[in-house]
A = this chain, B = another copy of it.
């Protein structure tokens, strides 16, 4: 795959992912709404595309990593959108966290345009992206999935296949994000009880995340919540968007998720109280306030 690969969306996730592709020897055509974000990649040899569509070539491969469904629509649809520019036969590797319904709709649109859409969301915070430690889920046409496999391997530590439905990988992504966010809430509740019982919340957290819950999600967020410090990885508005997608998707398929509502409300309250620029783990502040505990 010596041809140029397009990369659209160079935010806190997209930039390290594209950087890893460049490091793996891929030639890149990059596009970002704020062009300056592309500077390090351009300095390393990438071509700066003046529009998303310009990052695509007929029969080529373009990766998109964007903030939300609307942003993905805006680069995909229309005369100069990725779906048409990739035709015939090109592949859109859609790595943003979007609604499964959006993914399915865009897959139909690509098919009408003569190109292919693959849903390939990832798990991992920016530091995982940098370390090539992303967990990658993929679903869509099998031939396309096979073809892009080396590209994915250059960005993550494992790829999981979920078959032909282009929305399937996004469903799993939402399920995973729900589990992460909900565990922030759970740990916030648990450590509030611990602190109010006169027990050291950091010691309790340390015990739990090095024994029963010795996995990265708990170590990262457990220590963050226990210390009442929330280093920015996923912003509150993005986190809220994810939980809102979870609830919307669950609603479409008629599957009640009370815990998802609880967490979504906690984030909504964080947004209502001016915490837009904090990490989503700061939903824990609401738990502290409910318990009358100091928030720092």
Contact = CB atoms under 8 A, between A and B. Distances in A.
A185 B137 CA distance: 23
A251 B293 CA distance: 14
Contacts of A185: 259
Given A199-B168, A199-B171, A290-B286, A180 B258 contact: no
Interface stretch (A66-74, A110-118, A207-215): A207-215
B123 A211 contact: yes
Contact of A176 (B100, B168, B212, B286): B212
A261 interface: yes
Nearest to A214: B215
A176 B210 CA distance: 12
Interface string A170-183: 01101110111011
Contacts of A293: 255
Interface residues of A, number: 76
Interface in A243-270: 244, 246, 249-251, 253-262, 265-266, 268-269
A272 interface: yes
A218 interface: yes
Nearest to A180: B212
A207 B172 contact: yes
A198 B168 contact: yes
Contacts of A212: 123, 135, 176, 179-180, 215-217
B193 A186 contact: no
B208 A213 contact: no
A213 B204 contact: no
Contacts of A256: 189, 265-266, 268-269, 272, 290-291
17 contacts: A137-B207, A165-B199, A175-B190, A175-B194, A175-B208, A178-B186, A179-B190, A186-B186, A189-B255, A189-B258, A190-B257, A257-B265, A258-B258, A259-B259, A269-B290, A272-B290, A274-B292
Interface of A: 100, 123, 135, 137, 158, 160, 162-163, 165, 167-168, 171-172, 174-176, 178-180, 182-183, 185-187, 189-194, 196-200, 203-204, 207-208, 211-218, 244, 246, 249-251, 253-262, 265-266, 268-269, 271-274, 286, 289-293
